[in-house]
Amino acid sequence: MAQERRGEWGSKIGFILAAAGSAVGLGNVWKFPYITGENGGGLFVIIYLICIVLVGLPIMIGEVMLGRMTQRSPVGAFRKLDGEKSLWQGVGWLGVLSGFVILSYYSVVAGWALEYVVIAAKGEMSSGNPALMSERFGEVSGDGPGATLWHVAFMALTVAIVIGGVQKGVEIAARVLMPLLLLMFLALLVYATTLEGFGEGFNFVFGFHTDKLGAGSILEALGHSFFTLSVGMGAMLTYGSYLRKDDDIIGASVAITIIDTLVAIMACLVLFPITFTYGMEPEAGPSLVFTNIPMAFAQIPGSTIWALIFFLLLVFAALTSAISLLEVCSAYFVDELGWSRTLAVPVCGLTITLLGVPSALTFSTATFGSGMEAAIGKSWFDLFDYVSSNWMLPLCGLGISVFAAWKLGDEARRVQFEAGSTLGKLQGLYVLWLQVLRYVVPAAIVVVMLHAIGLF
């Protein structure tokens, strides 16, 4: 019965589109460049790429697999496989909780992007003055009530779409908008190569330098590899639960990982040349994309329309990610507590909206910003980001990987791995993946975490 109630993806490529839509978002365009800047580029990027290949991708495969095997959302998936009283359900709960925390501040950033659509439409991005652009961002993020309203608007949009059901909207949005976003970055990249600061920017991203690499950098790179791929909280598990028996999990996971990584690297290769060309700050933090992109557009004809398209695409990318986050949160109440979708989605949406208000106020009030920073070393906004992506996702990911690698029956797991997949049937690939998931992934997560708390 439960099986019949569940939707399936409308087409074979539906899952790839939706999962890629979940993966590609603010994490690639906003967060990755700014943390790369803060961590000095170079070595940080390399560590991140290693984490993607060795940790993120193997977990994604395991996570999607658990979804398809159980046709459940995270908590129910573990119960179905391990029994009513299973403690593994805790891994699912942690994932659902991460969804609430992440979306609460994610939506604040998406709200800024939404406001930038309006700012772009008004033609305010043609000035080509870095100081002015950075001041403008200060106004947007520093206006507490304004930022809160845009956050509410973005959440309302997300709720409205998720109430409608996952398949339709997301698939269409991703099919059209993802290629457009890639094209946009390709064009920007071509433009960036003509800039005086391209060499310096390129070297910043790929050069081998350790100067800014702090104690927390490795944890940050690891945490971001989870965040950017949307793994370690059950989003991929939930999307995987709508897959058909003969869909290719391995090919899809590899494709999603490649697309996500491409967008992130392209974003850096666009933003840092701009940074160095105009004497801006690589360590600008969360403002980076919002000040640099207008600089690029100001130099070319039709700046207003380009900036408008860019921020619209960014909002859509954020939206397809936010949808997957809200989907995980509400699926818990629908699948586990028997709520109707029309009740669960608004209730979760409202909770997340409220939870996000302190993040929206972080840049305007001392209480959630400088005051908290003085007291505990992090603003509310940074705290939510730090705890969810650097601790909750890797911990939950650890649980998912250990379960998939050690608890699942080998027979069933291999069938999942090979089903419909040319890549999955490649000689030795299954065993390689399993060994990585069994030993490398847990060891890496545990070692990085112990390192981060200063044990060695």
- Closest to Na ion by CB, 334 vs 392, is 392
Binding string to ligand PFF for residues 195 to 234, with x set by CB under 6 A, is what?
Answer: --------------------------------xx-x--x-
Instruction: Determine the 3-state secondary structure of 170 from DSSP.
Output: helix
Q: How many other C-beta atoms lie within 10 A of the C-beta of residue 180?
A: 14
- Closest to Na ion by CB, 88 vs 310, is 310
Phi-psi region at 300: left, alpha or beta (left = phi > 0; alpha = psi -120 to 50) = beta
Q: At its nearest, how many Å lie between ligand PFF and the CB of residue 378?
A: 20
Q: At its nearest, how many Å lie between Na ion and the CB of residue 274?
A: 21
Q: Which residue type is seen at 104?
A: S
Query: CB under 8 Å to 293, separation ≥6 — which residues?
Result: 270, 271, 274, 307, 310, 311
**Residue 325 binds what, of Na ion, ligand PFF, none (CB under 5 to 8 Å, by partner type)?**
ligand PFF
- Closest to ligand PFF by CB, 57 vs 235, is 235
**Residue 362 binds what, of ligand PFF, Na ion, none (CB under 5 to 8 Å, by partner type)?**
none
Closest CA to 76 of 430, 267, 334: 334
Q: Which DSSP letter does residue 439 get?
A: I
Q: How many other C-beta atoms lie within 10 A of the C-beta of residue 442?
A: 18
- Closest to Na ion by CB, 64 vs 434, is 64
What does the alpha-carbon distance between residue 411 and residue 80 come to, in Å, rounded to a whole number?
Answer: 17
- Closest to ligand PFF by CB, 262 vs 429, is 262
By CB under 6 A, which span of 212-220, 280-288, 317-325, 420-428 interacts with ligand PFF? 317-325
Among 17, 23, 101, 331, binds ligand PFF (CB under 6 A): 23
- Closest to ligand PFF by CB, 223 vs 369, is 223
What does the alpha-carbon distance between residue 349 and residue 330 come to, in Å, rounded to a whole number?
Answer: 8
Number of helices and strands in the chain (H, E): 24, 0
- Closest to ligand PFF by CB, 30 vs 150, is 30
Q: At its nearest, how many Å lie between ligand PFF and the CB of residue 324?
A: 5
Per the CB < 8 A criterion, the answer to whether 360 and 114 are in contact is no
Binding string to ligand PFF for residues 318 to 357, with x set by CB under 6 A, is what?
Answer: ---x--xx--------------------------------
Rounded to whole angstroms, what are the CA distances from 122 to 111, 290, 440? 17, 16, 51
Residues in the site for ligand PFF, rule: CB under 6 A? 22-23, 25-28, 102, 227-228, 230, 233, 235, 321, 324-325
Q: Which residues bind Na ion (CB under 5 A)?
A: 23, 27-28, 228, 260
